[in-house]
Amino acid sequence: MNMTRRGLLAAAAASALAGCASIPTVRAGSYQARGANFAVSLSRPWSDLTAFAGTARGVRVLSIDGVALNGLYLATIEPEGSFVRVMDRDTPRPTYRADMSETELVEFVIDSLATMNYQAPEPAALRPQTLAGAPGVRFDITARTEAGLNMSGTALVARAGENLNILLFLAPSEHYYGAFAREIDAVFASATPA
């Protein structure tokens, strides 16, 4: 009987430890996301939650408190590429085309958020801003999670040759978005070509 308890305890401990995963940390300073052709400056360390985010290849997801509370997305998307990864072949995914207008680029981001199960994502306050030296479009975002939590965000998109560079930040409207707004503005403004 004593051996059985020890065996069960050992199995339970092994199962618990097997579920632990190391989350990489991105240090403060210059950061170039893998696959991105631009770099940004981070004022503090962020966790790289890309492995848990369900995004397409080439999209990196950083967070301080978890993606549900603050997510900074960095990506360079090639033509015919996507910002999101869909789990089945029947679900359409927004696809980037090199000939998209600025309005279509904004719609591409908004459609990508809808594919990520954000409810009623809407762009607002479109304005010009450079991204890594290239002319781009910055805009604000409102949406809701499936559970009804109001989200706020901001995005910056700009072409880099045939590719599309994207910076996107999302957080709950109450507290988190406002708490990070200045820091995110600084991150967006810091983008330089890699």
Answer yes or no: is 10 within a domain.
Answer: no
Domain that holds residue 58: 23-193
**Count of domains for the chain:** 1
Answer yes or no: is 89 within a domain.
Answer: yes
Answer yes or no: is 124 within a domain.
Answer: yes
In CATH, what number is assigned to the domain containing residue 160? 3.40.1000.10
E strands, 1-147, are 25-26, 29-31, 38-42, 46-48, 59-63, 71-77, 119-131, 134-144
Q: Taking the model in full, what pTM does it have? A: 0.86
pLDDT given for residue 168 in this prediction:
98
Tell me the pLDDT band of 85, cut-offs 50, 70 and 90.
confident
Chain-centre distance for alpha carbon 145:
15
Is residue 136 a contact partner of residue 128, using CB atoms and an 8 Å limit?
A: yes
Answer yes or no: is 166 within a domain.
Answer: yes
62: nearest Cα among 85, 36, 88, 82: 36
Answer yes or no: is 18 within a domain.
Answer: no
Helix (H) or strand (E) holding 189: helix 176-189
What percent of the chain clears pLDDT 70, i.e. is strictly above it? Answer: 89
Answer yes or no: is 104 within a domain.
Answer: yes
How far apart are the C-alpha atoms of 145 and 168, rounded to whole Å? 16
Q: In which residue are the tokens 């069960």 written?
A: 8
Answer yes or no: is 53 within a domain.
Answer: yes
Write out the DSSP string of 69-98.
Answer: T-EEEEEEE-TT--SB--SSTTS------T
Q: Which two tokens stand for residue 107?
A: 């719609």
Which of the pair, 70 or 19, is modelled with greater confidence? Answer: 70
pLDDT in tens, 155-176: 999 999 999 999 999 999 999 9
pLDDT in tens, 112-126: 999 999 999 999 999
Is residue 74 a contact partner of residue 33, using CB atoms and an 8 Å limit?
A: yes
Answer yes or no: is 13 within a domain.
Answer: no
